[in-house]
Amino acid sequence: MFQALPPTRFDLRFSIGDIPVRVHPLFWLIALLLGSSASLWMLPLWILVVFVSVLVHELGHALAFRFYGIRSEIVLHAMGGLTIPEAAPWGYGWARVSPGPKQEIVISLAGPFAGFTFAVLMMLVTLLAGGTLITSRLFGILPLPLTAVLPFGGDALNVFVTMLLFVNVFWGIFNLLPVFPLDGGHVTRNLLIQYDPWDGARKAQWVSVIAGGVIALFALLVMRSVYVALLFGILAFQSYQSLQRRY
């Protein structure tokens, strides 16, 4: 579900600096479906917000790979994005360069923190432009200054900046949850592997099963979101299945 989809002739391709980016057509479709409850005039803004936010997140990963001398490619697909390290010639074939556990942690964290940094910059721009930020509750609990009110630009600009703030912070926190295949799952695994090289990977799968289950319950009872509950229920179950298969 989180794997890169194979290229199609409808893929949008471009590059940022020397980092190639590929956008699968399903990315636009899923963004459209997620925004389908918004009013019609907001829909193009919403799709642009999702596109920019996922791209900023993946650029974080790509720049961290670059920091360790590894080239990578960004793919935006149905369920978000992926940054794939480039395969390098190795012996008679090709191999992916794999960073060590500490490097993997930095690369995984770089995605969510790129989004947080972007959100903070947008907040600063809002304040410097003479606007105000109103505190809203993210996930129904977390009070954060995410609603922007600017003195110019009207509703469209306010909605655009507010959606950018929400999506960048939401996407970062969501990805930090210690559940596979999210970034937080990889951070947990690499942390546990350092302390327990023999059994760390298995323990991280158990963390993923338990955290996924707890978050599914939280989503159902507190956030009252069947969609989020279902998503984390499925991720917890997938982690449980891979425990059964591998250990």
**Which chain residues interact with Zn ion by CB under 5 A?**
111, 183
Strand-pairing partners, residue 229, are none
Q: Residue 22 CB, nearest distance to Zn ion (Å)? A: 16
Q: Residue 217 CB, nearest distance to Zn ion (Å)? A: 24
Q: Residue 34 CB, nearest distance to Zn ion (Å)? A: 17
| Residue closer to Zn ion, measured from CB, 104 or 183 | 183
| Residue closer to Zn ion, measured from CB, 74 or 236 | 74
| Residue closer to Zn ion, measured from CB, 126 or 175 | 175
Q: Residue 171 CB, nearest distance to Zn ion (Å)? A: 9
The residue at minimum Cβ distance from Zn ion is 111
- State the Cα–Cα distance between residues 210 and 212, nearest whole angstrom: 5
| Residue closer to Zn ion, measured from CB, 74 or 229 | 74
In sequence order, what are the residues at sequence separation of 6 or more whose Cβ sits closer than 8 angstroms to the Cβ of residue 225? Answer: 219
